[in-house]
Structures are given as C-alpha cells and as structure tokens.
Amino acid sequence: MDEVSFWLVVFSVILFVCYAILIEYYRKGWRQLSEYTPPPDFTPHQSITIIIPARDEEQNIGACLQSIVNQDYPAELVQVIVIDDHSTDRTPDIVTGFHNESIQLVSLKDHIDHTINSYKKKAIEIGIKQAKGDWILTTDADCTAGKQWLTTLMAFQQQTGAALIAAPVRLQTGNTLLNIFQCLDFMTLQGITGASVARKFHSMCNGANLLYAKQAFFEVNGFEGIDHLASGDDMLLMHKIAKKFPEGIRYLKSTSAIVTAQPAAGWSAFWQQRIRWASKADKYEDKRIFKVLLLVYLVNLMILALFVLSFFNLDLLLIVVLLLFSKTVLEFPFVNAVASFFQERRLMKFFPLLQPLHILYTVIAGWLGKFGRYRWKGRTVQ
C-alpha cells in the first residue's frame, strides 16, 4: 500500500469512529423517547388551523381532506386552509367540492403577481394570516392521518406545554426497489429527527406533520430572514422558534400521530426531491446539523473514493468491504428500532443489500444539492 492510500485509510478510520459515536448517540436518543398515548379523559379545547399548500394534487388532496374530516377532534375547533399554488389540474375543484364550512380554499395567485423563490413559505404565511386557530398544523396535500391525529397532538401539547411539536411521518410502502429504498431512507431520517429533538442536539423536523403556536410564529417574525430560500419552511423555522423557546421543542413519538405521505413516483422525482432537501444543508443557522451532515457526507464519500481507488490498488478493496460491513452492522440496530415503531420491520431484510446504493445516492445528492439545480412541481430552482 502506497503512502497516499495509507493516509486515506487512516483518515477513513478516524471518520468512521466519529460516525459510529454519532449513530450510537442517535440510537440511545431514539430509545430515550417513550411512546405516547393520549389519556382517555383528555378534553379538547384548543383551536387548530391546518394549512395545506397544494400544487397539482388532484390525485391526493381528496384523501387528505377526508382523513381530516374523519378526525375525532371537535369539528368546531378545526379550520382547514388549502392554499392552491397555481394548480393546472382539478385540485381547486376537489377542495371546493367538499362543501364543508371548515375547509377554505385560498388561491396563491390572488396574493402574488410576480416570481418568487419560495412559493411554499409564502403559501403558509398567507394561510397563517387568515388562521382562526391558536395552533398551526402544517401537512402536505399527499398526506393522510388516522382519526386520533389531532387529539394525540393536542393532548401531548397540553401535557408538555410545547411551543413546537415535530411529529412522525412515514411513506406509503410498496414492493418496488425505489419504494423500499426511499422508505428505509425516510425512516432513518425520522429516527434521527426524534433522537436529535429528544436530546436537544440539533433542530430537525418535517413540515408534513408539524405543529406550532401561531403566537410563536409571529414572535420570531415568521419566515423573515429565510424567505429567500426555496426550501426550509420546516427546519429553518423550527430553529428560529427553538432559539426563542429553547425548552419548548418536542418530538411526539406516537403511532396515532403518524401521517402517511406518498413516495416519489419515479427515480427522477426521487432525485429531484432529495436534491431539494440537500440544497439547504449549508443554510442552517444551527451549525450543529451542518457538521453532522458534513460528517455523514464525508464518511460516504471516503468509502466511495476508496472503492474507486481499489481498481488501481487491490489492497484497498478489503478496507472497503470492512468499512461497508461495519457501517451496516453499526446502523442496523438503530434503523431496526425505528422500523419497529413504524411497523415496517419487514423492510430490514433489504437494508444490507441497499447499502452500496445508499452511499452512491448520498454522495451524488449532496453534491448536486450544493452545486446543481432541481425541478420541483414544474419549477426549476438553483
């Protein structure tokens, strides 16, 4: 082994040790969270406004709204605002077709007449200005929830006094390679979300299931300072609220609070989604999460680099195999615990097989998120 290869291996081992400490920290953080069940004597009394930005969602918006109509939370305490973001399909007609006085349709084109970089943040902002509820709950138009969703959220809020609650999201599972891959990847992110919030390590959440006090939104001046960024309506806002209310951030680990989202329909859509997520990696004011993302990226990059170099130096191939095996053994208990919560342990048999694909995906998506462009909902963003 030449000197350059030797130092690459040493650097990779050091990175991997740091990564192992991080994964074990997340595993313990996830175990620290106890599963929550709303008490049977809980009496709902707080008003909620559910805000749903929607663009060309005729295939999903009906099921989303029906799951909200079916909630066991008092209907008089629930307001639903769907903000139509220049849809070209039947999305607005489906919303108005519900003929439900608690469901309101707002057209984004009535509020903006110029091109902006973050239509979703603007949609949420407009929705909040028209919100009658004291609590804002954001979700996506392709999401559905069980009938105890709102009750569980508000019971947990009343018990904890939280200003913001990050709640669980899962993807609808199927049997294709793409579906299995993204479900495993998404569950891992959910586990990291719960663990990081539980241990107050860094800010992480998903806007498909995010509850916060309307007053908290106004006290941090909403999206001011982050409204120029195309994404980040969830995590960037969460960090602003966490700075203002450091003890008011919670993660709700409850099966009755899970919302189910639709996975990306094809590989192209999947890549565009993940590049969009990666594009905000260096925009976080909370630099702890940037350091975590950088460590994860470097670990995957080094394994891939050593694999490429092994074509010129076969001694490195054994190192790659050992690192890949160690990474799988290290991550498996954590991801398996999260999969158990989401009742998706059947997917874990694919976890070792998909490790090489996950490494390649992490490196490419991370690079393109920083230096490339992506298309989302028919719009090109850089």
How confident is the prediction for the chain on average, in pLDDT?
90
> Do 22 and 99 share a domain, yes or no?
no
24 with 43, same domain: the answer is: no
Instruction: Give the span between the Cα atoms of 360 and 366, in whole angstroms.
Output: 10
Contacts by 353-362 with C-beta closer than 8 Å and gap 24+? Answer: 354/180, 354/181, 354/184, 355/324, 355/327, 355/328, 356/324, 357/181, 358/181, 358/185, 358/300, 359/300, 359/303, 359/304, 359/324, 360/304, 361/181, 361/185, 361/274, 362/296, 362/297, 362/300
Whether 147 and 13 share a structural domain: no
Q: What's residue 366's pLDDT?
A: 83
In angstroms, rounded to a whole number, what is the distance separating the alpha carbons of residues 382 and 378?
A: 13
- The sheet that has 143-145: what strands, in order across it? 143-145, 259-261, 169-171
52 and 15 both lie in a single domain: no
Q: Which amino acid is at 300?
A: N
Checking if the pLDDT of 380 tops 90, the result is no
The stretch 171-196 carries a mean pLDDT of 94
Average pLDDT over residues 151-177: 96
93 with 217, same domain?
yes
pLDDT tens for 96-120 read 998 888 999 999 988 887 777 678 8
Q: Would you tell me how many other CB atoms lie within 10 Å of the CB of residue 49?
A: 22
Domain assignment present for residue 132? The answer is yes
Domain count, the chain: 2
In a domain? residue 196: no
Alpha-helical segments (H) within the chain: 3-32, 61-69, 91-96, 119-129, 149-160, 177-198, 214-219, 235-244, 267-278, 287-309, 315-341, 355-371
pLDDT in tens, 170-182: 999 988 999 999 9
Q: Is 326 inside any structural domain?
A: yes
**Mean pLDDT throughout 1-13?**
77
Q: Is there a domain that residue 176 lies in?
A: no
Residue 367: burial class (beta carbons within 10 Å; 0-12, 13-18, 19+): middle
Whether 365 is covered by a domain: the verdict is: yes
Identify which has the larger pLDDT, 1 or 306: 306
Residues 108 and 245 in one domain: yes
Q: Which domain holds residue 96?
A: 36-168+209-263
Q: Are residues 217 and 102 in the same domain?
A: yes
d(CA 206, CA 202): 14
SS3 state of residue 2: coil
The CATH number assigned to the domain holding 75 equals 3.90.550.10
Angstrom distance (rounded) from CA 39 to CA 152: 9
Give the residue-averaged pLDDT of 278-304: 82
Quote the tokens at residue 251: 């993660």
Question: What is the pLDDT confidence band of residue 381, given thresholds at 50, 70 and 90?
Answer: low
Inform me whether the pLDDT recorded for 7 exceeds 80.
no
pLDDT in tens, 312-364: 888 889 999 999 999 999 999 999 999 999 999 999 999 999 999 999 999 99
Which helix (H) or strand (E) element contains residue 381? strand 379-381
Q: What's the pTM?
A: 0.90
Q: What is the CA radius of gyration of the chain?
A: 21
Mark whether 19 and 46 lie in a shared domain.
no
Assign 327 to helix, strand or coil. Answer: helix
Strand partners, 169: 259
**Contact of 134 with 215, CB cutoff 8 Å:** yes
Q: Tens digits of per-residue pLDDT, 77-97?
A: 999 999 999 899 999 999 999
Burial, 366: exposed, middle or buried (Cβ in 10 Å; 0-12, 13-18, 19+)?
buried
* 23 and 41 co-located in one domain: no
Share of the chain above pLDDT 90, in %: 69
Q: Give yes or no: residues 332 and 227 share one domain.
A: no
Whether pLDDT at 74 is above 90: yes
Asked if residue 108 lies in contact with residue 119, where contact means CB atoms within 8 angstroms, the answer is yes
Count of C-beta atoms within a 10 Å radius of residue 361? 18
**Domain identity same for 221 and 363:** no
Q: Is residue 359 part of a domain?
A: yes
